[in-house]
Each structure stands twice: as C-alpha cells, then as structure tokens.
Amino acid sequence: MKTFDYLLLLLKTSLNAGGKTQDEIKEELSLITSKISETEWTEIARNAQKTSVACLLYDVIDMLEGVPDSTKREITKYTRLICQNNYRMLTVDIWLDKVLRKAGIPFCIMKGVAAAADYPTPELRKAGDVDILLTNPGDAERAVAEIEKLGFKKEKEQHSLHHISMQDATGLEIEVHTMLAEPFDNNKINGYLDRLVPECRSKTVRKTIMGTELPVLEDTYHAFELILHMLQHFLRAGFGVKLLCDWVVLWNRGLKEKDRETYLNLVKESGIKGFSDMVTRVCIKYLGLKRENVLWMDLFANGKDREEVEKETELFMDELMDAEEFGKSKGRMVALRGNGILDYVREFHHQMHLNFPRAGKVFLFWPVLWIITLVRFLRNNRKVRSISSKELFESAGKRGKLVKGLNLFK
C-alpha cells in the first residue's frame, strides 16, 4: 500500500471521529498501523505537510501506538505553528468585521475560517490567508482604504483579476475579492457568477466560529463558493486533499431539503455539476463522506456505467495526489477542457486575456499580446518550473482528458 493511501485512511478516520471513543479509533486503525514502518511514517508526515493536512492528523496520531516519537513530535510542532497562525488570522477577521461594518461596506469571509467552522476542532484547519468577498464590487476602493488603516498595504503588482492583494509588514495577506472566482474561458459562466455577487449580500449570515461571530455565506452559497474555488485551482495547476476535507465535513453535517435544491440549481445553471459530482464521489470513496447525505445529488446521472465512473474517480484522485497543495508540484500548468489543438488554442487565448485584461479587449493588439504571452510561458518553464515545454504540454494533455469527461459549462 502506498504511503498516500495510508494518509487517506488516517484522514478518513480523523474526519469521522466524532462520537467514537479512543479505543474504537485504535481498533479501527490497528490493522493498518501495524503494517506501517518507521520510514513510511516519515513519508506520511512529509506528505501530510505538503498537502496541508498534517494538523488534521494530530488528534488521531497522538492516541495511536506504534507511531515513532519523531513523527509525533514533527506533527505536534507543525500543528502548534499552524494553530498560532490561524488565531492570528482570526484576529484579522475580527478587525475586518469591525472596520468594514462601521464603514457600511457589505462583505463576507470566504474559505479559511468559514470552512474551518465545520470541523470538530476549527483551529486544526490550515488557512493560508484571509479572503473576503465584497458583495457590492463598487466598494473596492473604499474597502482598500479602510483595510490600510489596519496596517495592510496594497501590493504594487497585482496578479489577479478577481481580487486585490494586500499585505502587512509580516507578510500576512488579505485578498479582497470582487468576484466569486477568476474569469473562466466561458462567457456564460462568467456572466452568471457576476450576477450572483450582489445576491450573496442577502445570503450572508452571522455565524459563531472559534468563539466569535463573523459574516459568512449561508450553507448552499458557501458550498458553491467552495466548489468554485476547487474548480478554479483544478483548471490552473490543481488542488490538494485539504479542500476535499472541507467538502467532507460540510456534507457530513447535512443540509435541509430546501437548501439541497438551491445547491443543485447553482451547479446546474453554472454548468459545473459534473465537477461537483466527481469531487463528491472521490470524497465518498476515499475520505468517508456519508453517501446517504448526498444521494439527492444524483451522482451517476451522466449516462456512463458504474465501472467507467469508478475508473474516472480513481484517475481524478491520482491527479489530486500529484498536485500537492494548489498544484505546487513540479511540471504542472493549466488543465485544458480537452486535448485537441483547439483546446490548446482556446486556453492560450484565455491566458492572454487574463494577462492583459485591458489591452486584450482590442483585437488589433492580439498578435502582439499572443507573442508576449508565449515568451512569458517559455521563460517561466525554464526559470520557474525547470521543465521542458514538451513535458508540460504532455502533462496538460493528460489532465485535459479528465476535464473533458466533466462536461464543464454545458
């Protein structure tokens, strides 16, 4: 058994430990842990940290016998650092809530602490930065001015179209979003998501998280935002198992019937139900998402037989394991919506528009912008990725086959 398979089994137990005694957990894992060597435990801890889920193993590993002391110390040290950082970001969330509410700027907190709220111990869910969504995009300049009062500065170079990056002197980052996701290479879904942003204002609720009340999206829109976040990273370079854990704890908590219908409408209207179904099937198979909680999603309504779906699910999980966290592993680029020449051209044109949002509106500039985009791509392959363009295109084509089977935006 691969060490990543061991990691998934440990995560599955950890995510579903609620209501179980320590003896029950030990018995559940005894047959597995007895087979793991000291070298494999070292590899498990390394993979857990690379995918940002080591904290989620903390409680389980601490109670198991046979785990090397060095592994326990490593996981404990990592967990303490992450918890400290999470509380630091929680303080920033509280500041933002106070300052932006006072200024009359409607917003909600996305991902991060909003996702952590579904975990038995929210502090153990690693967050990288603070993400907020302005439900009135026109408030962006005012919001930035208010956040600057907290000691954050707008970064000189902004590398995204859908959020403004701000940092304090220590490097802690706030992302001020005005869109639910980076623009996709499909105008229909982009227009749909634009129309949803103001609607998110009435879908914002105040929820007690880690002892404090904060503005977050209600369950159905929170779930939709999470699946959009996964899709965005998947189409870029990939995402790791941490986001799958968010999906498991959300749906294992369960939703009311009226909320289920709303979620289905959101993923169907946006054309991403195939992706939502795939992520859900993966979570059922590998991480203990309760099948009975998501039967209403109709996960096999795609005309494919069970054997074919099972194979695709395994390939999808292999892809996520290779991605580490947010596609940080070597040799990855955006995933294409297919693997034909037109798919490469469409994605290349889309990247040009992302790199040059203003100039890209003038079609006369396109030939020059294509050349600049190509030069940047080749340079980044050599200097940043340290991989040949041939290898990168082969990787993208392989991932493109997976994407094609998801029927995105249809």
- Tell me the average pLDDT across 378-400: 58
Of 248, 247, 297, the closest CA to residue 277 belongs to: 297
- Tell me the average pLDDT across 19-24: 82
Tokens matching residue 323:
């991605």
Q: Is residue 296 part of a domain?
A: no
pLDDT of residue 225: 96
pLDDT of residue 332: 47
Question: Which residue would you say has higher pLDDT here, 18 or 231?
Answer: 231
Q: Is residue 338 part of a domain?
A: yes
pLDDT of residue 179: 92
* HSE toward the beta carbon, residue 184, CA cutoff 13 A: 27
88-101: pLDDT as tens digits: 999 999 999 999 99
pLDDT of residue 249: 96
pLDDT of residue 268: 94
Q: Is residue 381 part of a domain?
A: yes
At position 257, the amino acid (one-letter code) is: E
Tokens matching residue 283:
């979570």
User: Distance between CA 43 and CA 105 in Å, rounded?
Assistant: 46
172-186: pLDDT as tens digits: 999 999 999 888 878
At position 308, the amino acid (one-letter code) is: E
pLDDT of residue 408: 81
Which of 5-14, 129-138, 318-327, 364-373 bottoms out in mean pLDDT, i.e. has the lowest?
318-327
CA triple 121-294-179, angle to 5 deg = 70
259-276: pLDDT as tens digits: 999 999 999 999 999 999
> Quick one: three-class SS letters along the chain?
CCHHHHHHHHHHHHHCCCCCCHHHHHHHHHHHHCCCCHHHHHHHHHHHHHCCCHHHHHHHHHHCCCCCHHHHHHHHHHHHHHHHHHHHHHHHHHHHHHHHHHCCCCEEEECHHHHHCCCCCHHHCCCCCEEEEECCHHHHHHHHHHHHCCCCEECCCCCCCCEEEEECCCCCEEEEECCCCCCCCCHHHHHHHHHHHHHHHHCEEEEEECCEEEEEECHHHHHHHHHHHHHHHHHHCCCCHHHHHHHHHHHHHCCCHHHHHHHHHHHHHHCCHHHHHHHHHHHHHHHCCCHHHCHHHCCCCCCCCHHHHHHHHHHHHHHHHHHCCCCCCCCCCCCCCCCCHHHHHHHHHHHHHHHCCCHHHCHHHHHHHHHHHHHHHHHHHHHHHCCCHHHHHHHHHHHHHHHHCCCCCC
Q: Is residue 395 part of a domain?
A: yes
Of 237, 205, 216, 215, the closest CA to residue 336 belongs to: 237
pLDDT of residue 94: 97
pLDDT of residue 338: 53
pLDDT of residue 145: 96
Number of domains in the chain: 1
Has residue 195 got a pLDDT over 50? yes
Range of the domain at 339: 333-404
How big is the chain by its Cα radius of gyration, in Å? 22
Q: Is residue 380 part of a domain?
A: yes
30-73: pLDDT as tens digits: 877 888 999 999 999 999 998 899 999 998 888 888 899 999 99
Q: Is residue 357 part of a domain?
A: yes
Has residue 230 got a pLDDT over 70? yes
Q: Is residue 173 part of a domain?
A: no
- Tell me the average pLDDT across 138-143: 95
pTM of the model: 0.83
User: Distance between CA 79 and CA 52 in Å, rounded?
Assistant: 10
pLDDT of residue 238: 75
Q: Is residue 1 part of a domain?
A: no
